[in-house]
Amino acid sequence: MITTDILQQLAKTHGTPLFVIDHEELLCNYEMFKKNLPRVQAYYAVKANPDPAIVKTLFNAGASFDVSSIAEFESVYENIKDLPEQEQHDWIWNNIIYANPIKAEETLQVLDKYQPLLTFDNSEEVVKMSQHAPNSRVVLRLRVSNAGAMVELSSKFGAAHEEALDLIFEAINAGLTVAGLSFHVGSQTTNFENYMQAINLAALIFKEVKARGYDQMNLLDIGGGFPAPYDESVKPFSELAKRINTELDRLISPDIKIIAEPGRFIAATAATAVSKIIGKAVRHGKLCYYIDDGVYHTFSGVIFDHCQYHFDAFKTGPTQICTVFGPTCDGLDVISMTEELPSNLERGDLLSSKNIGAYSAATSTYFNGFPPAKIIHVNR
Ligand SMILES: *Cc1c(COP(=O)(O)O)cnc(C)c1O
């Protein structure tokens, strides 16, 4: 648990802006995931926060990984590179899924050597994989409802139910091993029905494939989307997990390996941003604070993740609805126009934003000459 005192001390020592990662919280989230979904092997989605120290902490805790680029693959590989070749191969086989359905030819050529699971969702990809990564085990990504998710993915990825069988047999006929099915119900999914529908669809397709005489599908990947507790409206994870477990036990045979790709759920609550007020103005009658971190940096989730972060001030006073701006010269650099903050904050005062571990530092830039916030690891 990172207290206000610790944050203040860190800001004093390192300056601001800071991005403070709590490794104890990371482990706690990973353990909570495993405990609530005992049949499910957790593959951390590196995209949510690719910091190498996060990957290492989770690797040491026994996690598996979902990667979607060669760089992400390498950040995981880094942890096994000293193992003998056969052990590396076995570990990758059991613990990495390359879950980007669209892969460049060059990417496939690199991956072919290591043989992680690969996802796909269209014919073109079958041709590409069979030419450039012919030894692959592949997983068909299904299109499922993303209704009610904060970030929707179904318009970009996933094969429709009607196409699924044809694609599976196209891949088999092209010499690939079809290991199973995957889906993603949309990130920060608070509509639990999405999972139920998706598991039902997968069960139906497993049955259809078996009926057509192929019996090598033994993996179900239930994706990411598990919601982080950003506010009280998010129902407890245990409730979602209970419903998923019931549906898995009812519909998915015990000899099928079940995996998931939680990103946000593991990373979101594990980081806190600390920023400093660098300017203060009243514009159109509204109090505006300018801080040293913004939407091109730690708060990039405001733009890319449809996420709204809140601030805690380190001192109290009468509050009002304020605007909080980032430090760059761009008018887009607005973190919030409706943040309730004390009106007596001054230049040099600190603000913190919790639950900012996912899709934040991951998409930070150097725009306008402002570097990303300094990353601090605690409880490592
Ligand atoms: C982004 C992504 C994830 C992680 O999703 P979360 O909502 O952060 O859990 C998992 N799998 C795939 C394929 C993704 O693209």
pLDDT confidence of residue 1? 81
**Architecture of the domain whose range is 4-19+270-378:** Beta Barrel (2.40)
pLDDT confidence of residue 362? 86
The tens digit of pLDDT for each residue in 87-108 reads 999 999 999 999 999 999 999 9
Decide whether any atom of ligand 1 lies within 6 Å of the 265 Cβ.
yes
Decide whether any atom of ligand 1 lies within 6 Å of the 141 Cβ.
no
The tens digit of pLDDT for each residue in 13-30 reads 999 999 999 999 999 999
Decide whether any atom of ligand 1 lies within 6 Å of the 121 Cβ.
no
Q: pLDDT above 90 covers what percent of the chain? A: 97
Same fold, 4-19+270-378 and 24-268: no
Note whether 270 and 7 are within 8 A (CB). Answer: no
> 292-311 burial, b for 16+ CB within 10 Å, e for fewer?
bbbbbbbbbbbeebebebbb
pLDDT confidence of residue 278? 98
Q: How does strand 137-141 pair with strand 96-98? A: unpaired
CA 22 / ligand 1 centre spacing (Å): 21
Q: Does the pLDDT of residue 380 top 80, yes or no?
A: no
Report the alpha-carbon distance of residue 171 to residue 180 in Å, rounded. 12
329 in active site: yes
Domain segments of the chain as ranges: 4-19+270-378, 24-268
For domain 24-268, give the CATH superfamily.
Alanine racemase (3.20.20.10)
Quick one: which atom of ligand 1 is closest to the CA of 100?
13
> What 3-state DSSP class applies to 325?
strand
Decide whether any atom of ligand 1 lies within 6 Å of the 151 Cβ.
no
pLDDT confidence of residue 312? 97
Q: What is the mean pLDDT of residues 152-164?
A: 94
CA 75 / ligand 1 centre spacing (Å): 17
Q: What is the mean pLDDT of residues 286-296?
A: 98
- Identify the helix (H) or strand (E) that includes residue 98: strand 96-98
